[in-house]
Each structure stands twice: as structure tokens, then as C-alpha cells.
Amino acid sequence: MDPYQSLLDRLKRQHTPYAVTWELTHRCNLACFMCYNVPRAQPELSTEEALDVLEQLARAGVLRLTFTGGEVLARRDFLTIARRARELDFAIDIKTNATLITPELADELAALHPVEVEVSLLGATPETVQGVMGGHRTLNRILGGVRLLLNRGVRVTLNSLMMRINLHEREAMMALARELGVPHRMVFKISPDDDGNDKSRGQQLPFEDMVTLYGEMCEPFQPRPGHPRARTCSVGLHACLIDPYGVVFPCIELRIPAGSLRQQPFETIWREAPIFRELRERHTLAHMPACRTCPLQTYCEGRCSGAAWKERGDLYAPHTLACRQAQARYHSLHPAEPIPSPAFFLEPAP
């Protein structure tokens, strides 16, 4: 086995929190209509508090730290926090819309030697990008920021959330990524807001478009058998989320608070929070009766406890989008066969 993968497997078994995503701020210079952040009426962590959190994460064994937002560059102290993270030997990833990057800031970001900078590309024309993200000359500013980073040797990946509004530009977005010489990822899942409000549901891709996109994937989906002890995701085992106010959550989707860093040390929250204990002990197919008996189980890789909790108030329930995606994967591989229905009520697939 690959030594790095062997290390990660051991850390998972030991429940070491080796990967943490940190929403440094909910502020942003753009206004993406599908943004799931719900800002609170309380102060975000101060610089001093953020630096103390870094020390706590280092003591807990965190190896990889992803800074996201909002827009991370909207925090004036971002570089102070990120430099300290590198001094503590974290491998860092940065998620940004890239529109605020200047030559000087690109120099500073390159000096951090991030593992990866992820940039959202939500269209290939100025009109579509502005329709999704707002702002002025947004696409030009995104591409300009990306080029500034690439010119300094920074690894950049473009991420495209595919929606009704931008689906017709998917090939053009792929072409832009090829032109820039960077990896390009497409995802189909529009997340409800952190408070469960599903305001952008109408932008989810229609079933027939999911089938088409799965059929175009370079690496066809390989169905894999489930087992009662199998997990649909690794939530609670080795990673978690910190929001701008110091609240720890199991992941970016599952907004059940585990504790506040303004009240408890990180290691105490990670080891003792009831939600983490439950996820480690019970989060298997054996505790998901609908998923365990579903005829599409082997085609489902998108089931998310956070999405299920937001949609149904139940950590162990299915959620509609994952079931639709499983149907779409099945149909893309078996176009001449009837599409099985999930093991819970869902309208038949088209």
C-alpha cells in the first residue's frame, strides 16, 4: 500500500483529526445566489483567537488545513493566520474566488506554498458568471487572479458547480481549464443553506442532464457492494469544520454543533462531543434501514448525513438528491433497463 495512504488509514482508525476545514469568514465581495453561508449576529474570531486555535489544532495532530469562507481574502489578517499555519507545518489549501488577487498578494500566496488553491469557475461567459456570482467584470477578475497564481508556480484547481444556469457552458469551462493548464472538477450538488433553507433547489440539474454528464465521465462509475459495517462517508472519523465564530461541526454540510472553541479546547470537543461519538459508533449502513435495503445502494456514492439531516431531520435517512444521482448513474450504465426505485418514497425517474 502507498505509505501516505497507510498513514491516513491509521489516523482514521485512531480518530486523529488530520484534516480540518476552517471557514475564516462569512464575508464575501461577491453574492453567489446559491451560497449556503448564513452569517450570525456575533463577532468572528479575532486574530488572537485564530492564532490560538492554530496552536490547538497543531497539538491535536491536524496535518492538513483548508481555509475557506465566505471569501478568505476578505479577512485583512488572512496572511497573518496563514503564515502562522505554515510555521506550524500545516499543509494548507485555500479556497477563493480569486477576484481580489493582485500581483503583490499573489507573491504572498505563493510564499505560503499551498498544496492547492481551489477557485470556483461558475460559467464561461461574463454574462453567466455575473448572473451566478454578481460583481463587476467577475470572470475577467477570476481568470486574472488564476493567471497571477500560475505565473508564480502555485497549483490551482478550477471547481465548477453545474446548475441549470451554466450547464450549457460546461464544454467551454473545460476548454478554459485546458487553456490554463489546470485540473477541472465538476460537481452537481447544490447544498441547502446552513439553516436548511433550500432556496436554490430550482437550479439542481434535471435527471436527464445528470445521466448525460455521468455518461461523459472519463472514468465510468464502478458499482461497489455494501456491507452492514460500511459507511456512506467518513464524517466524524478524521475531519471536521470550524466556522468563523469558533463553533466546531462534524463537516461543512452537517451543522449540528459539537462545541465552541470560545468555551472548550479543540481536543475536548473532538474526543467528547456527543455528535462525534454518535457518528463514530453508529454511522454505518446497519443503522440506515432505507439505504441498507435499497436496490440502488451500490450505485450511491453521494449520500450525505448533513443533507439528510437538513431535508428530513434524520442523520440516518436517505436524501432526495443522492437517490436521484444513484438512479442517474444506474441509467447511464444500463440505458435499456428499467430504473429501480429507491427504498423510500420518491417519484419515479423520468
Q: Which three cell numbers stand for residue 103?
A: 500581483
75, 67 Cβ separation under 8 angstroms: no
Can you tell me the mean pLDDT for 103-112?
Answer: 98
Lowest mean pLDDT among 216-220, 324-328, 333-337: 216-220
Q: Which three cell numbers stand for residue 29?
A: 465581495
Q: Is 11 a residue whose pLDDT tops 80? A: no
Average pLDDT over all residues of the chain: 91
Look at the alpha carbons of 65, 70, 73, 79 in this order and tell me if their dihedral is positive or negative: negative
Q: Is 225 a residue whose pLDDT tops 80? A: no
* Cα separation values, 169 from 184, 201, 205, Å: 14, 20, 14
Q: Is 292 a residue whose pLDDT tops 90? A: no
DSSP 83-133: HHHHHTT-EEEEEE-STT--HHHHHHHHHT--SEEEEE---SSHHHHHHHH
Roughly what angle, to the nearest 10 degrees, separates helices 138-150 and 170-180?
Answer: 30
pLDDT at 199: 86
CB atoms within 10 A of CB 165: 17
State the Cα–Cα distance between residues 149 and 207, nearest whole angstrom: 37
Q: Is 38 a residue whose pLDDT tops 90? A: no
With cut-offs at 50, 70 and 90, classify the pLDDT of residue 2.
confident
With cut-offs at 50, 70 and 90, classify the pLDDT of residue 348.
low
With cut-offs at 50, 70 and 90, classify the pLDDT of residue 219.
low
Lowest mean pLDDT among 153-157, 206-210, 211-215: 211-215
Residue 188, class by beta-carbon neighbours within 10 Å (0-12 exposed, 13-18 middle, 19+ buried)? buried
DSSP bridge pairs for 118: 95, 157
3-class state of residue 184 by DSSP: strand
268, 259 Cβ separation under 8 angstroms: yes
323, 311 Cβ separation under 8 angstroms: no
Q: Which three cell numbers stand for residue 206?
A: 434535471
What size, in residues, is the chain?
350
pLDDT at 39: 87
pLDDT at 220: 66
Q: Is 303 a residue whose pLDDT tops 90? A: no
Look at the alpha carbons of 279, 282, 287, 292 in this order and tell me if their dihedral is positive or negative: positive
Query: Which percentage of the chain shows pLDDT scores above 90?
Result: 66
pLDDT at 140: 98
Can you tell me the mean pLDDT for 275-294?
Answer: 90
Q: Among residues 12, 72, 64, which one has the least CA distance to residue 283?
A: 12
With cut-offs at 50, 70 and 90, classify the pLDDT of residue 333.
confident
pLDDT at 122: 98
With cut-offs at 50, 70 and 90, classify the pLDDT of residue 223.
confident
Which amino acid is present at 50?
Answer: A
Q: Which three cell numbers stand for residue 31?
A: 453574492
Query: Which percentage of the chain shows pLDDT scores above 70?
Result: 96
DSSP 227-274: -TT--SS-TTTSEEEE-TTSEEESSSS-----EETTTS-HHHHHHH-H
Q: Is 21 a residue whose pLDDT tops 60? A: yes
Can you tell me the mean pLDDT for 212-219?
Answer: 76
pLDDT at 298: 87
Q: Is 112 a residue whose pLDDT tops 90? A: yes
With vertex at residue 236, the alpha carbon angle to CA 16 and CA 77, rounded to the nearest 5 degrees, is 75
pLDDT at 230: 80
By DSSP bridging, strand 259-260 and strand 247-249 are: antiparallel
State the Cα–Cα distance between residues 267 and 164, nearest whole angstrom: 42
